[in-house]
C-alpha cells in the first residue's frame, strides 16, 4: 500500500515459529493487523514479505498517525511472542535475540 501523507510505516520481523508454518502463513497478515490495530488505525492490511531465501518473513503496515506507530513499536519491540509450548520446549529459557519480536519505524526517504 502506498503511504498517504502523514502515514507512518512500521516494519516487523522475528515472528514466532507457530505464526510462520505453512498452515499459518495465510492468516499472518490478519493476525498482525489485529495486533497492530490495538494501537491505532491502520491504512489497509499489513503486507507480508518473504525473504530472498523464501523463508525469512517480514511485514510492513502503515499507521494513520505517528503516535500510534510509536506506541506499537515501544510495546512490541523485543517482546517474547513464543507460545507456551515453544517456551516449554526450551525449558523456559529466555528468548534468543532471533526469537524476540522486532518492530521499527521506517522513515520516509527524502528522494
- Write b or e for each residue in 70-100: b if 16 or more Cβ atoms lie within 10 A of its Cβ, otherwise e: bebbeebeeeebbeeeeeeeeeeeebeeebb
pLDDT 10s per residue in the chain (111 long)? Answer: 444 457 999 999 998 888 888 888 889 999 999 999 999 999 999 999 887 666 678 999 999 999 999 999 999 999 998 888 889 999 999 998 888 999 999 987 643
Rounded Cα distance between 42 and 7, Å, is 9
- Stated as kind and residue range, the H or E segment containing 105 is strand 102-106
* pLDDT value of position 24: 87
pTM above 0.85, yes or no: no
8 A C-beta contact, residue 61 and residue 47: yes
* pLDDT value of position 54: 61
* pLDDT value of position 55: 62
Give the closest residue to 12 by CA, choosing from 57, 54, 55, 52: 57
* pLDDT value of position 2: 45
* pLDDT value of position 4: 45
Cell of 5: 501523507
Amino acid at each position: 500500500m502506498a503511504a498517504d501523507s502523514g502515514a507512518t510505516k512500521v516494519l516487523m520481523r522475528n515472528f514466532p515459529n507457530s505464526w510462520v508454518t505453512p498452515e499459518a502463513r495465510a492468516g499472518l497478515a490478519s493476525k498482525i493487523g489485529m495486533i497492530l490495530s490495538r494501537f491505532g488505525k491502520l491504512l489497509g492490511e499489513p503486507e507480508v514479505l518473504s525473504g530472498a531465501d523464501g523463508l525469512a518473513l517480514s511485514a510492513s503496515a502503515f499507521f494513520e498517525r505517528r503516535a500510534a506507530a510509536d506506541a506499537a513499536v515501544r510495546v512490541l519491540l523485543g517482546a517474547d511472542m513464543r507460545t507456551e509450548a515453544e517456551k516449554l520446549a526450551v525449558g523456559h529459557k529466555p528468548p534468543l535475540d532471533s526469537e524476540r519480536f522486532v518492530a521499527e519505524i521506517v522513515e520516509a526517504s527524502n528522494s
